[in-house]
Structure 1
Amino acid sequence: MTAMDFPARTFGVRTGPGVHIHGFEMGPADGAPVVILHGLAGSAREFFTTARALPEFRTIVVDLRGHGRSTTRPGDLSREAFVADVVRVIESVVSAPVTLIGQSLGGHTAMLVAAARPELVSRLVLLESGAGGGGGQDHEHLGRYFRSWPLPFASRTTAREFLGDGPLAQAWVADLEERADGLWTRFEADVMVAAINAVAAPRWDEWESIAAPALVVYGEHGMFTAEDKTEFCERGRNVQRVDLAGASHDSHLDAFDSWMKALRQFMDA
């Protein structure tokens, strides 16, 4: 069978008062389970191509709280709330240890899940992620950028004209929500700022406690310095590192073949 033989199936899980986590499931029900977590201001759809390139696995792709089709404005945007959502999804949808994959904010979340509930994570894959930090930097500049978007967009063509035609912009345009008055993002600027600000405190204790095999993948032109990458990998307990030439922070979008090669080699070992 090919990847396209396994259409996406949707699911929803309530993880707390007023919080609904949405996701998609692909692949055979008896396949080894994989859970994928997207980054800030992204959604599960960004990883559909990755999921479909793993046709023999049962792959769960999650919309994190505040993103995609999950609750847009949850009251709690702490790291612990994101972790609790993922734990609830694994326990209720999969009910087995998983290969947990996360990019950026999703990678930080995946790391904390593996530390808090090691029995749920058999292998860990972190794409363009780290222990956190940034010296308490306020990411309001991201809020200003997202608030500058002239919402609603009249059409996807209008959205492309404003956002550009890069891989990340294409993902944003594809995921816009159609409403009666036009096309809207599936995230809100202030929620994104609060979510990323919560990553400011580095979580070295959690990272250093993880015994599961971990693949750490960086883009050559990603957001981390050479020193950041070296320190993070050296302080991990069971880490394999791969660097993707020419790739950005969104390597799963702009360096897909290299990303899948690294992922496949790790998962097939």
Structure 2
Amino acid sequence: MTPETLTTPDGTRIAYRDHAPPLPGHRPVLLLHGLAGHMGEWDDLVGRLLAAGHRVVTYDARGHGASSRRPPTTTRAAHVEDAVTLIHALALAPVTLVGQSLGGHTAMLLASDRPELVDSLILVEAGPAGPSPGLPARMADWLDSWPTPFESQEEATAFLGHEAWALGLEKREDGWYPRTDRDTMIDSVAELATNAYWTQWSRIRCPTLLIQGENGTMRPDEPTAMLAARPATSHTVVRDASHDVHLDQPEELCEAIVNFLEE
């Protein structure tokens, strides 16, 4: 499916796909990917959610994929506003938000700031913990470690760990390159280096599910603190999954999401 595009108030182009539901009357689901990712990471989950009767929308965050590569700003507020613009443009509200990693953080802030737009919230390896002073440097080291250009998508898959990551690359004459700008990616996590978001987390009132990978990267005490702050939050751990739960165990992830929504 060829992506459609919309333009946000600050002129950023956002590429998205609106996957039509096979059945009427099911709540829409908006999927938000993580840092340096792309909406194609969700393809396996999209098919499963469609089969369960949901309308599903995916999009490339600003600075990612087919969206504007170098947007005018990469603040947390700008990322939230992009999702809000998409929700309004496609008449998705009230919507279920499913966000992984940085996309989960965006979904969390949206649910806190614009509760009237959100029906339920599902966080995959994402939460309010912070500050994290070393995060930008770690992201820079990770991005700099990519041996680009990759000679083939197979080489990229072997290095990045998942075919879905390789499918997000672009082909040029001399090989395969990321569809992101290094400095834009580092800027995208700048606020997480100095801020924590527990106040925003405590304000959320919609039903919420926290999903961890058994071998994920959340801080060890973060899920416990999240549940203490909001005891009604549901929580599940997906076995044999890393930070990329949606790529490691898409069937188990979909089962957890569908069961939560059916409750």
TM score, norm. by length of structure 2 = 0.91
Instruction: Tell me which residue corresponds to 1:187.
Output: 180
Q: Deviations over 1:145-196 (max 9, x none)?
A: 32333333332234345x15x23xx222111112344321111222111112
Q: Is residue 41 of structure 1 aligned with residue 15 of structure 2?
A: no
Instruction: Tell me which residue corresponds to 1:25.
Output: 18
Given candidates 236, 254, 257, the residue that maps to 2:248 is 254
Given candidates 80, 101, 115, the residue that maps to 1:83 is 80
Counterpart of 1:54, as a letter, is L
In 2: Cα distance, 1:265 partner to 1:238 partner: 16
Counterpart of 1:245, as a letter, is R
SS for the counterpart of 2:171 is: strand
In 2: Cα distance, 1:184 partner to 1:176 partner: 5
Conservation of the 8 A alpha-carbon contact between 1:142 and 1:189: no
Counterpart of 1:18, as a letter, is G
- The alpha carbon displacement at 1:15 in A equals 0.7
SS for the counterpart of 1:61 is: strand
Counterpart of 1:217, as a letter, is I
SS for the counterpart of 2:90 is: helix
Q: Is residue 100 of structure 1 aligned with residue 100 of structure 2?
A: no
In 2: Cα distance, 1:153 partner to 1:246 partner: 28
- The alpha carbon displacement at 1:204 in A equals 1.1
- The alpha carbon displacement at 1:225 in A equals 3.3
- The alpha carbon displacement at 1:230 in A equals 0.4
Instruction: Tell me which residue corresponds to 2:239.
Output: 245
Instruction: Tell me which residue corresponds to 1:145.
Output: 142
SS for the counterpart of 2:150 is: coil
- Structure-to-structure mapping, 1:99-118, within 5 angstroms: 99-118=96-115
| Higher deviation after alignment, 51-60 or 17-26 | 17-26
Q: Deviations over 1:46-98 (max 9, x none)?
A: 01111110111110011111111111111211100000000000011134210
In 1: Cα distance, 2:36 partner to 2:167 partner: 13
* Identity of matched residues, %: 36
Instruction: Tell me which residue corresponds to 1:203.
Output: 197
SS for the counterpart of 1:149 is: coil
TM score, norm. by length of structure 1 = 0.89
Q: Is residue 215 of structure 1 aligned with residue 209 of structure 2?
A: yes
Structure 2, unmatched stretches of 5+, are none
Counterpart of 2:256, as a letter, is A
Counterpart of 2:214, as a letter, is E
| Higher deviation after alignment, 51-60 or 129-138 | 129-138
Instruction: Tell me which residue corresponds to 1:4.
Output: none
Aligned length: 258
In 2: Cα distance, 1:176 partner to 1:35 partner: 23
SS for the counterpart of 1:67 is: coil
SS for the counterpart of 2:30 is: strand
Q: Is residue 224 of structure 1 aligned with residue 195 of structure 2?
A: no
In 1: Cα distance, 2:147 partner to 2:132 partner: 32
SS for the counterpart of 2:98 is: strand
Structure 1, unmatched stretches of 5+, are 1-7
In 1: Cα distance, 2:156 partner to 2:176 partner: 8
- The alpha carbon displacement at 1:224 in A equals 1.6
Which of the pair has the greater relative contact order for Cα pairs under 8 Å at 6+ separation? Answer: 2
Q: Deviations over 1:210-269 (max 9, x none)?
A: 110001111111112331110012212631111112211111111222212211110122
- The alpha carbon displacement at 1:36 in A equals 0.5
- The alpha carbon displacement at 1:120 in A equals 0.4
Richer in strand (by share): 1
Instruction: Tell me which residue corresponds to 1:3.
Output: none
Conservation of the 8 A alpha-carbon contact between 2:125 and 2:212: yes
Instruction: Tell me which residue corresponds to 1:264.
Output: 258
The 4+ residue runs of structure 1 with deviation greater than 6 A are: none
SS for the counterpart of 1:77 is: coil
In 1: Cα distance, 2:247 partner to 2:88 partner: 29
